[in-house]
């Protein structure tokens, strides 16, 4: 196999920010078409880079992006050259595939435009609940989850003896005190006890992670406090679900919402295709010969 040589010439203008894209109409054609890179007998010109670096991008970022683009372009050209020398391509088939890709891309862009313009992302609680009930067996937990409070406080923090009392209190005033304390001293905390949280992720990196039987721990615990050399960890458990149980709807609400919105996208894409087809038939713009 012959050795392949790659020559890439970068113009000084490549490193001059937005000026890179400016072409004076009074300049000779030879200067306008001066290449910035070559791979074998294929050339890349600066006008081919229009839009690669958006306006407003810093000089350093635009230079890095254009350099990367040129290098990728050169690699592709060399690969094409290598392929053409080792494989007997059907040029007509290649052209058909190029056209098919082009038209597919154009259709996709228009579909995306149509969907963005017509898609409603408002999903009601009734829709979410209906989908949840109809597909409840699909929402089986693969992990243990909890609902409660979790706070990590450095051992050097003041008034740590008050944290446990505030953690287990249901009084609004105590929750406000706990919130203020966490904002001032806690290194990590989650005191929104209406949210379901992955238990293993929550306790990762803490002494609680060393618990051997976590399911038994969840069943027997309403409050836990553990310490290491740096921090004290407070955990209040209001409710739990273990793996292989059905997930609470609140835990999968966002997942269901995404599914319902994606359904709408698919339906809009089908609707657009059918509308275009029906319109063409009505205007006698399409015929299928048998």
Give me the mean pLDDT over the 24-34 stretch.
Answer: 54
Q: What burial class does residue 85 get, using C-beta atoms within 10 Å of its C-beta: 0-12 exposed, 13-18 middle, 19+ buried?
A: exposed
Provide the phi-psi class of 56: left if phi over 0, else alpha when psi is between -120 and 50, else beta. Answer: left
Is the model's pLDDT at 71 over the cut of 90? yes
Q: Where are the domains positioned within the chain?
A: 1-88, 141-241
pLDDT in tens, 197-233: 999 999 999 999 999 999 999 999 999 999 999 999 9
Q: What is the pLDDT of residues 77-109, one digit of tens each?
A: 999 899 888 988 888 998 999 999 999 999 999
pLDDT in tens, 163-179: 999 999 999 999 999 99
CA-to-CA dists, residue 114 to 119, 136, 271, 289, angstroms: 8, 32, 10, 30
pTM attached to this predicted model: 0.65
pLDDT band at 23 (very low <50, low <70, confident <90, very high): very low
State how far the Cα of 150 lies from the Cα of 166, in Å rounded to an integer.
Answer: 12
């Amino acid at each position: 196999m012959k050795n392949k040589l790659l020559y890439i010439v970068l113009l000084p203008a490549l490193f001059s920010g937005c000026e890179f894209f400016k072409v004076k109409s009074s300049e000779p054609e030879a200067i306008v078409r001066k290449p910035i890179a070559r791979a074998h007998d294929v050339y890349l010109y600066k006008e081919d880079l229009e839009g690669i670096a958006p306006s407003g991008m810093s000089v350093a970022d635009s230079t890095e992006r254009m350099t990367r683009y040129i290098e990728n372009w050169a690699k592709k050209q060399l690969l094409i050259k290598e392929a053409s020398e080792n494989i007997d391509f059907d040029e007509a088939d290649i052209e058909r595939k190029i056209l098919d890709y082009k038209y597919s891309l154009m259709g996709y862009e228009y579909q995306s435009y149509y969907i963005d313009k017509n898609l409603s992302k408002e999903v009601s609680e009734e829709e979410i609940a209906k989908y949840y009930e109809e597909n409840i067996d699909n929402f089986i937990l693969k992990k243990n989850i909890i609902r409660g409070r979790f706070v990590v406080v450095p051992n050097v923090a003041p008034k740590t003896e008050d944290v446990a009392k505030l953690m287990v209190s249901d009084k609004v005033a105590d929750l406000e005190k706990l919130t203020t304390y966490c904002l001032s001293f806690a290194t990590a905390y989650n005191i929104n006890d209406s949210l379901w949280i992955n238990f293993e992720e929550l306790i990762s990196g803490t002494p609680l992670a060393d618990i051997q039987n976590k399911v038994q721990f969840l069943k027997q615990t309403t409050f836990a406090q553990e310490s290491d050399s740096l921090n004290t960890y407070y955990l209040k458990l209001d409710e739990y679900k273990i793996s292989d149980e059905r997930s609470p709807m609140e835990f999968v609400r966002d997942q269901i919402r995404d599914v319902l919105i994606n359904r709408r996208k698919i339906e809009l894409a089908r609707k657009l295709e059918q509308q275009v087809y029906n319109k063409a038939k009505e205007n006698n713009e399409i015929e299928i010969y048998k």
